[in-house]
Structure formats: structure tokens, C-alpha cells
Structure 1
Amino acid sequence: MTVSPRLPPLFTGEWVPNQTDPFDKAVSRAIAGVDSGTIFYSDAVDVLRAALVLAPETSLEEAVQVVYVAQIGLAESLGALAPPEVPVFFQWPDRIKVNGAVCGGVRFAADVSEPSAHPNWLVVGIDVPFLPVGGEPGETPNQTCLHEEGCVEITPMALLESWSKHTLLWLTYYMDSGFERIHNEWRPRCDTLGKMIDLPKPGLFVGLDEKGRMLLRQDVMTETVSLIEFAEHV
């Protein structure tokens, strides 16, 4: 019997069989016109996969800023549920890092691709492994799962419930105060900020601009890289 998550007001849940990707289901239902605030989820025990459908009232360039909101929601959820000594950070554009290794992240898609276009829908998904994905522990030191990091007491359902609450809270902050507050919360959690990086391209990660675009310095030139480039094609 499937147990329904306890979601906050404004969000409703829709269960998806484990063989179906909740993100793909959310996209197909968004195209068909599902209500904004619907979270599609599976009840797998080895991974949390969930996707939230939103109906933005802004251009895509602004709407994709909710990817940062979803990351903050996930980091705060892990901070609330995991042992206090487990650090959670971000890796631009969409990864979550636990104890310095990648532990899932955020996915997103919309029905438009031009920054100035207004999307009818935006789907933001999360993917967090609880158990190792093949191989022996330690074989992939740059990737991890929650159980390997001492988070054995956390269940996918508990993390989903917590993520929905924290994400709704930060969505409210975002709608009330704009991107600046989100940026101020996100920036200290990004462990590659101010460092030389190789992806998405080599350069010094200077920070984010007021629209949430990466500022990447290469020699004397600084260019911007938009989150939109990392949207999934549907």
C-alpha cells in the first residue's frame, strides 16, 4: 500500500509507479494542463525522485531562478534531517554535494527556451540517491549517497515531505522579495564559488549576476552562462 506524503498547503501529491520517472510524468501532465503545485513522486526506497509543476508568471529567464529555490529547499531539508556534522553544499548549475561528493541534484524543463518567452509551465525535479548505484563503496569518490554519509535514519518519504515544506517557504520568500534573498542564501553554500572550474567551461567562477546567471572569468573577459542552457529537452 502506497503511503501518501504529508505536503504543505498549495501542494498536492500524485504517486507514480517506480518504473516511471516522476520528472517525465510531471512534464507530460504539465503539457496536458495539470494544476500548478502538483508534486509527482515515487515510493522507491533506494532513491528520492520527485518533480514539482509550476506555472510561472514571468519570463523564462526569471522563472529558472526557482532552480536555486529547489536547491536551497533540498539543502535545508538535509540539514534538518541529517546528522549535524554532515555538510551540504551546491555545485553550479544543479548538483547537491554531501561531504564534498555529489549526491544527486535538481532537474528542470519548460515549454519554451527563449529567455524572454513566458512559459506556460516549468517542472523542477529532484533526484537524491539513498543507496549506492552499482559498484563498491569508494569506487566513485566524487559521487556518494545518503547512506554512505551516515544518513541511514532518513527515508525518501521524510525527505520529500521536508523538501516540499522548505521549498514552499523559499518560494514564498522569492515571490515576496525577489532573487536577491535567494542569491544571498545560495551563495555561501556553493563550494566552487571563487574557484577555477572546468565545467561548464574552464574559468574562474566569480559569482552570479542579478538574473542568476553564472559569471565566468576567462583571462580579462567575463561572460555569463544561463541556467537555461541546462534545461532538459522535452
Structure 2
Amino acid sequence: MAVSAQRPDDLRREPVLPPGFSLVALRESGDAFAHACSIASEAGAATLVWTRRFDIIEFAVVLEPDNPLREARLAHYLAMNALADALAVHSPPERPILFRWPDALIYDLGLIGGGRLAWPQVCGEDEVPDWIVFGAMLRATTMTPFSPGDVGVGMAEEGFEEVDAVDLIEAFARHLMLGVTRWQSDGARATALRWLDRLDKIPGTRHGIEPNGDLVATTQAGTQRRSLVEALGRTDWLDRESGGPKL
């Protein structure tokens, strides 16, 4: 049975997170990403901030990298992988889950959510940042059926089985920890290549990720490099007025 929206009871229970995580829960009007950024330096690594919204699954996690900023930003790909894997756990079969450069999450050709990344403003590219915050949003429901040509989709309208924000957050945390383990054993490049496997690609274009996270697209006409920092600064998938993914 598909869900129609987050139920009140779903938001009363709290996520059971892996060891080492700490949870900060906000009321519906809270901004998980902004709050995580504001407390990151004091709260420390693996602090997860969750906003109890009914229409949007919204949370953010604090990370403490060991690498200089230019390399630490690759954590964006690590967290996006975990977000997509968490969604895939509960997804109906044979529905594509893709990334649109660099931070949008596409489900069955419609925008369902995305990620954001922040770091201290006073931090040089060759300095190790005290913290990095990854923020995520997934649309629980659009309140309307998806029609061809729409930009956004919601979990309820896309045939997900009974699943709520807590389920998704728990799955994200588990996949994030798995991703960190892989990063430590295989390196950041392997994480970026795994992200590329889900990129919504253009036929005839070969893609690669530079050591600083930039995207390189090569065609017969030549090579184009796209800045990760600039793209993250735009957050094109986010509707600033509604505070959720674009519809």
C-alpha cells in the first residue's frame, strides 16, 4: 500500500542510529541544514539534525574530515551515494534512481530531492576544515499525481511501500557508515566513481571526477570542466520560497 503523507505517529518515534551518532530533533518549522551548520563546531562528527516535517523528509549530518578542503568536499559524493542507497532500499523495483549534477536526486525521471554541502567560511583550500555539513531533502508527497512534464515527484505518488522519515534516516545513517568504511579502504576516487554510476548521463559523453570534485565531460567536440564549488553554491534543485525540492 502506498503512503499518502507522513502520519503524525511516524514523527513521534525517533530514529535508531548507529553507534557514535547523536540526534537533534527540530519542530516542523526548523531548518535542519542551517541548524547543523550553526552547531557543527560544538556538536562534532555524526551529529544528525532532523526536522519533523510531514511533507518533506529533511535532515543534515555533521562530518569531520581528515583531508584538506579541496579533497574533503568529495564527501558530498559519499553522502549523496548514501541518500540514493537509502531511497533504493524502499523503492519499488526497476525504478531508476539517478543523480543530476551535482546535488539533485532523480527518481523515475522526476526530481524527488537533493543534497547540500557547507563548510567553514574561513578555511583555505589546503586547510583541513573543522567540519563539513551535508543536508538532505526527500519529498514525501506532492499531494497530486505525477503527470508527464512535471519537474517534481513524491514518494507517496510513486508507489513506495509503507515508509516514513525515520526509516529513511536510519537507512541513510547505515549507508553513510558503510560509505565511510569504503572510503577508508578504497579511497575517495572509488566513492566518486560510484556516484558517476548513477549520474543522469548524456549519450556520447564521457564523464569523470577530478581530485577536487569538479566534473569533466568529454565529447567529440572537446572537454568541459564544471566547478563543484560553484554548482553547490547554486543548489538548483531547491525552491527557496517553499523550502523544499522544486515541483
Cα distance, 1:140–1:49 mapped onto 2, change above 3 Å: farther
Q: TM-score, normalised by structure 2?
A: 0.81
Which residue is equivalent to 2:30? Answer: 20
- Listed one character per residue, the Cα deviations across residues 99-132 of structure 1 (whole Å, up to 9, x for unaligned) are 0111111111000464323211110011100111
Which residue is equivalent to 1:198? Answer: none
Trace 1:66-105 onto structure 2 (pairs within 5 A): 66-105=75-114
After the TM superposition, which segments of 4 or more aligned residues of structure 1 sit over 4 Å from their partners? 217-221
2: distance between equivalents of 1:21 and 1:28?
A: 11
RMSD of the TM alignment (CA)? 2.4
Instruction: Name the SS of the counterpart of 1:169 in structure 2.
Output: helix
- Aligned partner (choices 194, 199, 208) of residue 185 of structure 1: 194
Which residue is equivalent to 1:157? Answer: 166
Instruction: Name the SS of the counterpart of 2:43 in structure 1.
Output: coil
Q: Cα distance, 1:164 vs. partner?
A: 0.8
Report if the CA contact (8 A) 2:206-2:219 is conserved: no
Instruction: Name the SS of the counterpart of 1:70 in structure 2.
Output: helix
Cα distance, 1:83–1:37 mapped onto 2, change above 3 Å: same
Q: Cα distance, 1:38 vs. partner?
A: 0.3
1: distance between equivalents of 2:142 and 2:226?
A: 32
Instruction: Name the SS of the counterpart of 2:137 in structure 1.
Output: strand
- Listed one character per residue, the Cα deviations across residues 74-113 of structure 1 (whole Å, up to 9, x for unaligned) are 1111111111132211111001110011111111100046
Q: Cα distance, 1:36 vs. partner?
A: 0.9
- Aligned partner (choices 172, 175, 178) of residue 169 of structure 1: 178
Which residue is equivalent to 1:138? Answer: 147
Q: Cα distance, 1:21 vs. partner?
A: 0.6
Which residue is equivalent to 1:199? Answer: none
Instruction: Name the SS of the counterpart of 1:29 in structure 2.
Output: helix
Which residue is equivalent to 1:230? Answer: 231
1: distance between equivalents of 2:141 and 2:64?
A: 33
Q: TM-score, normalised by structure 1?
A: 0.85
1: distance between equivalents of 2:203 and 2:178?
A: 28
Q: One-letter code of the match for 1:98?
A: Y
Q: One-letter code of the match for 1:30?
A: A
Q: One-letter code of the match for 2:192?
A: H
Unaligned 5+ segments in structure 2 are 1-10, 235-247
Residue range with higher mean Cα deviation, 106-115 or 49-58: 106-115
- Listed one character per residue, the Cα deviations across residues 41-89 of structure 1 (whole Å, up to 9, x for unaligned) are 0222221100001111211111111111111111111111111132211
- Listed one character per residue, the Cα deviations across residues 166-213 of structure 1 (whole Å, up to 9, x for unaligned) are 011101211222122213322221122556xxxxxxxx5633234432
Cα distance, 1:35–1:159 mapped onto 2, change above 3 Å: same
Identity %: 26
Q: One-letter code of the match for 1:20?
A: G
Which residue is equivalent to 2:19? Answer: 9
Instruction: Name the SS of the counterpart of 1:51 in structure 2.
Output: strand
Which residue is equivalent to 1:209? Answer: 210
Report if the CA contact (8 A) 2:207-2:217 is conserved: yes
Unaligned 5+ segments in structure 1 are 196-203
1: distance between equivalents of 2:196 and 2:30?
A: 34
Q: One-letter code of the match for 2:223?
A: T
- Aligned partner (choices 46, 49, 69) of residue 55 of structure 2: 46
Report if the CA contact (8 A) 2:78-2:192 is conserved: no
Cα distance, 1:49–1:213 mapped onto 2, change above 3 Å: same
Residue range with higher mean Cα deviation, 41-50 or 178-187: 178-187
1: distance between equivalents of 2:12 and 2:197?
A: 38
How many residue pairs get matched? 223
